[in-house]
Amino acid sequence: MKKIYWLIAFGFCNACVYAQTLIHYGNNHISKEDFLRAYNKNKTVTDDKEKSIREYVDLYTNFKLKVKAADEMKLDTAPQIKFDVNNFRQQIIENYLSNEKGIDKLADEAFNRLQTDKHVLHFSAPVIAGAKAEDTLKSWKAIQELYNAFKNNVDQDKALQTARSSGANIRNSDIGFVTAFTVPYEYENIIYTLKPGEVSKPYRSKNAWHIFKLTEERASVGRWRIAQILIAVPAGSGTDVQTAAGQKAQQLYSQLKKGDNFGNVAKEYSNDRMSNLSGGELPEFSTGTYNGDFEKQVFALKNDGDISQPFLTEFGYHIIKRMGFKATPSDKSDEIFISDLKQKVLKDSRVNTEKDIFNREIVAKTGMKKTKEVSEKDLFRFADSLMKNPTEAQTKAFPISNKNVLTFKDGVVKGSEWLAYVRESWSGTENAGSGTKELWDKFLLVAAVNYYKSKLEAYNPDFKFQMQEFREGNMLFEIMERNVWSKASNDTAGLLKHYNTHTNNFKWAASADVLIFNCSTAKAAEEAMTALKKGKSWRFIASEAAGTLQADSGRYELSQITGANQANTPTKDTYTAIVTNIDGSATFVKYVTVYAPNLQRSFEDSRGLVINDYQQLLEQQWIAELRKKYPVRVNENILKEIVR
């Protein structure tokens, strides 16, 4: 129940007085715009729009009444809520420090590129920093000669031989299939302009000249989840080591085919220390994560749960199990995928250009100006002097420390902040060696961005609403915990009274006393069921299982029992089917005693249901009190406009 309230709260945003007020509660207002923002964010598909909206009016009003009560209790000043709100602010603020249109453009570009995987060959000629001019020229001439040879359809080996004849170090490699985010963005931009068979013009990076050749392309192969068992063959091992590893892998494969749990085998035998503790499971991946030979083995598994035969790579023998597959969405209706894609864009180097543009726009928005209180000469002179005694105390001791060096619409930056930036920059690595003038130019941008971040609610309505959502959600959770959830759970006398008053609400549906067996493999489940049928005690079976199964007993409604045949009523000493899960584990249930429906639950058996019922009663009583304290009035004319 708590989760339901949390989700509802998170969808609500702050009510401000706009031109049209839809709801009044006491002296407070909820605007039409605010209501629609919340409703449209949380609405579900319905055939009765008016009913849906009117129900949401009540739901939203009750939410605001509870938040009002929390405000009066000053719950927003509680240390934990203040900490959580500030922590949330720091988590999301970077998402608002970029040009939204620019980010959308980059996300669209990445989305389109993710539809196609490209197989690329890479050629490069290193350019060593500080190399002689003739050596740098040699690299350029060699890569240019290679490019011309490719354009003239010269055989690759012959073209490489000719380009290297001048002494230039030309490297070549088969990158395999790549997609968006697989290679540096500057390379990706080149690769995605090529058609199969085409070669890119030479491109100069900081350390080399590059050429890319596109050999083929295919539709995206999607995203995969697998687990693996690796029997490693160390580099340089002899044939005897490789043969022994192959035999071990084949032995494990045979065990898996007989029903052994893949995760348990991986934990015990896999040499991949990054995955064996998690049962061999690897992070979800797509094109370009692993080499082509490994990927081909993955793609050959057609169904979740399929296991490959052992195969050899440079690392040793692998056995892989398909855990899941997701096709790359071909349209933008998958909101979760698009949201994740934007987050990926924001964390990638491709966003830097857009961020630079946005940061310079911030300077104009904030109205930042340099004051006349401190000359540029003094700014630089005292910055240089600081380095003779770069202490925190010294940043506050110079004549410019307490003077305003920058002003904003409603804020200032002191000289001490500039000096602190200088001290931190020269003691770090990013700006180490930068001249004072260069540091000042960077400081102007940093100061503007910091000011903008501190006032972001005033500059960005979406950020303001998201912060308000989170703040009010925390306050709602806290006040519900105090006034409803904990109050109900801890009121034993009230719970017992509620149970005795409403015993008809707490009846068993058709139910049974059962034994539940959770087994590591289907084979272990079959063996346990056979032992039970032969009359062995379930506790004895569990104690002898050496960790391959867990067993428990209890009374459950038949609808709750996994593997039950809902079409037929079970009888005493019968069993459900064995249900095998995607991870290879298996479950079954034995019916010990079967009960008809509508038998009375005891108070202890009903406690969870009674608490839930009692919480709803307390909440209804509390809402009634709040509506009496803050009379609610809905503007029917505006509501009818919304319904239309």
Backbone angles phi, psi at 226, to 5 degrees: -135, 165
Which pLDDT score, from 0 to 100, does residue 547 have? 80
Which pLDDT score, from 0 to 100, does residue 434 have? 65
In a domain, 402, yes or no: yes
Domain that holds residue 396: 367-457
CB distance 191 to 212 below 8 Å: yes
Cα–Cα distance measured from residue 429 to residue 440, given in angstroms and rounded to the nearest whole number: 17
Which pLDDT score, from 0 to 100, does residue 538 have? 93
Q: Which is nearest to 550 in space by CA: 577, 580, 525, 519?
A: 519
Residues 232 and 278 in one domain: yes
Residues 32 and 2 in one domain: yes
Cα–Cα distance measured from residue 448 to residue 362, given in angstroms and rounded to the nearest whole number: 7
In a domain, 307, yes or no: yes
Residues 135 and 206 in one domain: yes
Residues 432 and 296 in one domain: no
Cα–Cα distance measured from residue 408 to residue 43, given in angstroms and rounded to the nearest whole number: 41
In a domain, 215, yes or no: yes
In a domain, 360, yes or no: no
Structure tokens at 116: 């196609």
Residues 606 and 470 in one domain: yes
Environment class of 313 (CB within 10 Å of its CB; exposed 0-12, middle 13-18, buried 19+): middle
Q: Which is nearest to 591 in space by CA: 613, 569, 608, 611?
A: 569
Cα–Cα distance measured from residue 338 to residue 344, given in angstroms and rounded to the nearest whole number: 10
Which pLDDT score, from 0 to 100, does residue 435 have? 79
Number of H helices, E strands in the chain: 24, 19
Assign residue 49 the CATH number of its domain. Answer: 1.10.4030
pTM assigned to the model: 0.60
DSSP code, position 348: S
Q: In sequence order, which residues have a C-beta less than 8 Å from that of residue 372 and are 6 or more positions away?
A: none
Element housing 179 (H / E): none
- The residue from 600, 621, 636 where one domain ends is 600
Assign residue 566 the CATH number of its domain. Answer: 3.10.50.40
In a domain, 262, yes or no: yes
Cα–Cα distance measured from residue 549 to residue 543, given in angstroms and rounded to the nearest whole number: 9
Residues 50 and 132 in one domain: no
- The residue from 297, 326, 355 where one domain ends is 326
Residues 629 and 574 in one domain: no
CB distance 125 to 208 below 8 Å: yes
Q: Mark 149-170 as b/e (b = at least 16 C-beta within 10 Å).
A: bbeeeeeeeebbebbbeeebeb
For residue 437, count other CB atoms closer than 10 A to its CB.
Answer: 11
Average pLDDT for consecutive 10-residue bins of the chain (644 residues)?
A: 45 47 94 88 83 93 96 93 95 85 92 96 88 80 94 93 87 94 95 96 92 96 95 92 95 94 94 90 91 92 95 95 94 90 90 85 91 94 88 90 93 94 77 75 92 93 90 94 93 95 95 95 93 93 87 92 80 93 90 95 94 95 96 94 88
Cα–Cα distance measured from residue 474 to residue 81, given in angstroms and rounded to the nearest whole number: 7
CA dihedral 463, 466, 467, 468 (to 10 degrees): 120
Residues 288 and 228 in one domain: yes
CB distance 588 to 577 below 8 Å: yes
Which pLDDT score, from 0 to 100, does residue 7 have? 43
Cα–Cα distance measured from residue 522 to residue 531, given in angstroms and rounded to the nearest whole number: 14
Residues 165 and 199 in one domain: yes
Name residue 595's beta-bridge partners: 511
In a domain, 351, yes or no: no
In a domain, 103, yes or no: no
Residues 231 and 321 in one domain: yes
Structure tokens at 285: 């991946």
Angle at 367 between CA 361 and CA 371, to 5 degrees: 125
Residue 226: C-alpha distances to residues 3, 286, 311, 636 (Å): 31, 11, 15, 56
Environment class of 449 (CB within 10 Å of its CB; exposed 0-12, middle 13-18, buried 19+): middle
Angle at 609 between CA 65 and CA 61, to 5 degrees: 15
In a domain, 343, yes or no: no
Which pLDDT score, from 0 to 100, does residue 225 have? 95
Residues 276 and 295 in one domain: yes
- The residue from 200, 219, 238 where one domain ends is 219
Residues 433 and 386 in one domain: yes
Our count of domains for the chain comes to 5
